[in-house]
């Protein structure tokens, strides 16, 4: 069962599997009810594209609505994290709970023995189990979003695009005559789509204005609510140039919940924007156990598409791990994931809890 989103990546994943003579069917998931935004009908348009793709490929298409599961298992956590002044990554949780759990269970109920997606990642299986490895296309690699998968989920998953670059995927789509060949890549929150994020978040977390301060306590302006900002952010601060201050643009360097204050600093490379290390929640290991006894050296990615960064990992206790980086890292953001790698293998990772300068 291939998950079809109506985009070019999942379309080509289906094309490749069909040409490899798999017994193949498609499944379109709707995971968000769009009645909250008049005229916003992205899911309907995507379903129409997915329908054209399956007709072209000659395979059946199933549809399912996981909106309730998405709200309960992903979006509720997403809101709680923002309310706690952290910046979550819902796509990570969505993959574990929806695409590789609810979707997998539904596909099995329809008779499937495996699922496939258009993710840019590779799965390798040997006598030690299933391994998640980097995509051949470093600009599109999506292992960061898949690091919470376990052995069962990974063992049932196929990633047909893992050895391809994006340009090759579009070429395959064009040569096959797929209607999605030139469709632009989707952005924004998984399944929620491309919306003005602050306005969307304000529907669930009302504004709570407070002061914008320098580290020394000088008042520069007013923010609309700490939940609406993330570390390293430049746009949307509304403070412009300040008399007697450097001309460099201002960036979010911290949040002070006790004062409901947003702390900003001038300049992209201000020292307060950098961290030497971080602690995470208890790491999830794809293999089911750590790769070796701690402390050990590996590489980490703190956000999608960030180049891998050398670090050393140690365990503080059963609930925390600590990463110390060879080079200071900019805008390390609590709530995001720190994902660990050895060579080309994604080991797993944990949610960033705290940082130190």
Residue numbers annotated as active site: 94, 190
Residue among 302, 216, 199 at smallest CA distance from 264: 216
C-beta of residue 158 within 8 angstroms of C-beta of residue 149: no
Strand stretches in the chain, DSSP E? 2-3, 26-30, 61-65, 115-116, 122-126, 129-133, 157-158, 210-213, 219-223, 250-256, 261-266, 274-281, 284-285, 296-301, 309-317, 320-330, 337-342, 345-356
**Exposed/middle/buried for residue 209 (C-beta within 10 Å: 0-12, 13-18, 19+):** exposed
Nearest 5 degrees, angle CA 127-CA 284-CA 96?
90
151 backbone dihedrals φ, ψ, rounded to 5°:
-65, -40
Residues 295-314 as b or e (16 or more Cβ within 10 Å = b): eeebbbbbbbeeebbebbbe
Does residue 334 sit in helix, strand or coil? strand
C-beta of residue 255 within 8 angstroms of C-beta of residue 229: yes
Report CA 207 to chain centroid distance, whole Å. Answer: 25
Residue among 319, 317, 321 at smallest CA distance from 298: 321
Residue 306, both tokens: 């960030």
Residue 319, both tokens: 């609930």
Q: Verify cis geometry, omega within 30 degrees of 0, for the bond prior to 177.
A: no
């Amino acid at each position: 069962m291939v998950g079809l989103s109506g985009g070019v990546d999942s379309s080509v994943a289906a094309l490749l599997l069909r040409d490899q003579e798999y017994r193949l069917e498609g499944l379109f998931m709707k995971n968000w009810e769009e009645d909250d935004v008049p005229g916003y009908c992205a899911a309907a348009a995507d379903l129409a594209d997915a329908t054209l793709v399956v007709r072209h490929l000659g395979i059946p298409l199933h549809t399912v609505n996981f909106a309730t599961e998405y709200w309960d298992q992903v979006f509720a956590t997403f809101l709680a994290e923002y309310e706690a002044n952290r910046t979550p990554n819902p796509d990570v949780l969505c993959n574990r709970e929806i695409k590789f759990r609810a979707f997998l269970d539904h596909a099995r109920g329809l008779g499937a023995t495996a699922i496939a997606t258009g993710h840019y990642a590779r799965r390798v299986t040997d006598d030690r189990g299933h391994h998640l490895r980097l995509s051949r296309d470093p600009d599109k690699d999506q292992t960061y979003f898949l690091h919470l998968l376990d052995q069962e989920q990974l063992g049932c998953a196929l990633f047909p695009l893992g050895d391809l670059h994006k340009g090759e995927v579009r070429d395959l789509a064009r040569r096959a005559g797929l209607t999605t060949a030139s469709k632009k890549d989707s952005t924004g929150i998984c399944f929620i789509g491309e919306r003005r994020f602050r306005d969307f978040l304000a529907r669930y977390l009302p504004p709570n204005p407070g002061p914008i301060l320098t580290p020394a306590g000088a008042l520069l302006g007013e923010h609309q609510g700490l939940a609406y900002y993330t570390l390293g952010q430049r746009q949307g601060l509304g403070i412009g140039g300040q008399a007697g201050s450097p001309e460099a643009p201002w960036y979010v360097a911290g949040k002070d919940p006790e004062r409901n204050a947003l702390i900003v600093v001038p300049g992209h490379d201000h020292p307060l924007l950098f961290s030497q290390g971080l602690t995470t929640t208890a790491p999830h290991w794809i293999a089911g156990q750590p790769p070796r006894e701690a402390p050990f050296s590996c590489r980490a990615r703190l956000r999608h598409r960030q180049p891998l960064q050398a670090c050393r990992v140690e365990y503080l206790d059963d609930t925390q791990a600590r990463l110390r980086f060879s080079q200071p890292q900019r805008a390390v953001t609590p709530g995001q994931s720190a994902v660990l790698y050895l060579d080309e293998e994604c080991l797993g990772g944990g949610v960033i809890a705290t940082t130190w300068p």
